[in-house]
C-alpha cells in the first residue's frame, strides 16, 4: 500500500514537472502558432545555470534565481532572434529551425561544460524525509516540487483568466487584428509569453537537477514526453496541459514501477524486465493514440 502511495507521489512529481514544460509549449503554440522543439533546451539551460551557480556559491536562492533568469533571458533572446521570424512560416520551417537550435544549444553546452553529468545536491532546508503516514516516509524535496508545480498551476490560471495581460494573451491568440487595433504592441506580448514559457521550463529544469542528473540531451528526453502531454491535453489549453501532465506522469511512473513485477510472474526475470521497460516506455504513447482515436483534438481543444 505504501509502495503504491509512494509511486503515486512520484507520478505526481513527474506530472508537475511535465506541466511546467507543457504549459509553456502549449501557450507558445496557442498564442503564436509556433511549434518549438527547442523548449527542452530552455529546460536544460535552467538546470545548468542553477547547478553551476549552486556549485560556485552554495546558495540555494542564488541558484534558483540563476536558473530562472538564464532560461527567461535566453528564451527571450531566442524569440527576438529566431522565433519571431517563424510566426508566419509553415510548421516545417518551425520544426527545422528549432531543431537547429537544439543542435546549437546541445553542442555549445557540451563545449562549455563537457559531457559529464553534473550532480546537484538537495538544498539544505529541503533535505531529509517526512513521515506522511505511520511507516511511510517521503523526501521533502519531492513534496516541495509537487507543491511548487501546483502553485504555478493556480498562478497561471489566475494570470490567464483574471488579469488584463491574460485577457490580451487570450485575445492575441484568436483576434490578432483586434488586439493590434487596441494599440497594444502584440510583438511585445509574444516576447513576454515566450519569456514566461522559458521561465517555467527553467523552473522545471532547476528543480529536476537534484532528482535527475544534469546533462546534455536531458531536454529532448522530456520534450517528447511533453509533446504527448500537450497532444493529450489539447494544443493551446493550459487546463489540458495540467490534466494531461498528471495523467502522463502517473501512467508512466506506475507502469515503470509495477509492470516488471507483473510480467515476472509469467516469464523469465531479465526478459520480463526488458519487455516491461519497453512496454512502460511505450505506455504513454499508446495512451495518446487511444485518446486521439476518441478525441482527435485532445481532451480540451482550445479553439473548439
Partner 1 sequence: MTDAVSLPAPAMRKGAAVGWLAVAVLLAVFPTIADALGQPALVPLVGRILIYGMAAATLNLVLGYGGLVSFGHAAYFGLGGYVAGVMALSARNGDLAFGLFPGTDQLLVALAVAAVMGAVLAAVIGSLSLRTSGVQFIMITLAFAQMVYFLFLSLKAYGGDDGLPMRRRLGIGALDMRDDRVLYFVALTGAVIVFLVIWRITVSRFGRVLSGLRQNEARMQAIGIAPRRYRLVAFILAGAGASMAGVLMANQLRFVSPDMLHWTKSGELMIMVILGGVGTLAGPFLGAAALVGLETVLGAFTERWQLLLGPILLAVVLYTHGGIAGLVTKLVKGRAP
With contacts defined by CB under 8 A, how many residues of the chain interact with partner 1?
Answer: 47
Q: In whole angstroms, what is the distance from residue 280 CA to residue 157 CA? A: 32
Site for partner 1 in 28-47 (CB under 8 A): 29, 35
- 49 burial via Cβ count (<10 Å: 0-12, 13-18, 19+): buried
228 scored as a contact of partner 1 (CB under 8 A): yes
The minimum distance between CB 270 and partner 1, in angstroms, equals 7
152 scored as a contact of partner 1 (CB under 8 A): no
Span of 148-156, 163-171, 203-211, 285-293 interacting with partner 1 by CB under 8 A: 285-293
The minimum distance between CB 149 and partner 1, in angstroms, equals 22
Question: CB–CB of 223/18 below 8 Å?
Answer: no
Give me the 106-125 binding string for partner 1, x by CB under 8 A, dash otherwise: xxx-xx--------------
Q: In whole angstroms, what is the distance from residue 175 CA to residue 181 CA? A: 10
Give me the 50-79 binding string for partner 1, x by CB under 8 A, dash otherwise: ------------------------------
Nearer to partner 1 by Cβ, of 40 and 149: the residue is 40
Of the candidates 249, 281, 254, 255, the one whose C-alpha atom is nearest the C-alpha of residue 15 is 249
Q: In whole angstroms, what is the distance from residue 250 CA to residue 16 CA? A: 10
| Residue whose C-alpha cell is 492575441 | 172
Question: CB–CB of 136/5 below 8 Å?
Answer: yes
Span of 57-65, 205-213, 238-246, 293-301 interacting with partner 1 by CB under 8 A: 293-301
Amino acid at each position: 500500500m505504501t509502495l503504491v502511495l509512494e509511486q503515486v507521489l512520484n507520478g505526481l512529481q513527474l506530472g508537475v514537472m511535465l506541466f511546467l514544460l507543457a504549459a509553456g509549449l502549449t501557450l507558445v503554440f496557442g498564442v503564436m502558432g509556433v511549434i518549438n522543439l527547442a523548449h527542452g533546451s530552455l529546460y536544460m539551460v535552467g538546470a545548468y545555470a542553477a547547478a553551476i551557480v549552486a556549485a560556485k556559491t552554495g546558495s540555494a536562492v542564488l541558484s534558483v534565481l540563476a536558473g530562472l533568469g538564464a532560461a527567461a533571458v535566453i528564451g527571450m533572446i531566442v524569440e527576438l532572434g529566431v522565433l519571431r521570424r517563424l510566426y508566419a512560416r509553415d510548421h516545417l520551417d518551425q520544426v527545422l529551425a528549432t531543431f537547429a537550435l537544439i543542435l546549437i544549444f546541445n553542442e555549445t553546452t557540451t563545449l562549455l561544460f563537457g559531457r559529464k553529468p553534473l550532480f546537484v545536491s538537495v538544498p539544505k532546508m529541503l533535505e531529509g524525509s517526512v513521515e506522511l503516514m505511520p511507516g511511510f516516509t517521503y523526501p521533502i524535496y519531492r513534496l516541495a516540487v509537487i507543491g511548487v508545480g501546483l502553485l504555478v498551476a493556480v498562478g497561471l490560471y489566475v494570470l490567464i483568466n483574471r488579469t488584463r495581460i491574460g485577457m490580451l494573451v487570450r485575445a492575441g491568440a484568436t483576434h490578432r487584428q483586434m488586439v493590434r487595433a487596441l494599440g497594444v504592441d502584440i510583438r511585445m506580448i509574444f516576447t513576454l509569453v515566450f519569456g514566461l514559457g522559458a521561465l517555467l521550463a527553467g523552473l522545471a529544469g532547476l528543480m529536476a537537477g537534484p532528482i535527475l542528473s544534469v546533462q546534455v540531451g536531458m531536454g529532448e528526453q522530456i520534450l517528447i514526453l511533453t509533446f504527448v502531454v500537450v497532444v493529450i491535453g489539447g494544443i493551446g489549453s493550459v487546463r489540458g496541459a495540467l490534466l494531461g501532465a498528471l495523467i502522463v506522469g502517473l501512467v508512466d511512473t506506475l507502469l515503470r514501477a509495477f509492470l516488471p513485477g507483473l510480467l515476472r510472474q509469467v516469464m523469465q526475470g531479465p526478459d520480463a524486465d526488458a519487455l516491461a521497460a519497453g512496454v512502460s516506455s511505450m505506455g504513454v504513447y499508446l495512451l495518446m493514440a487511444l485518446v486521439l482515436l476518441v478525441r482527435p483534438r485532445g481532451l480540451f481543444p482550445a479553439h473548439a
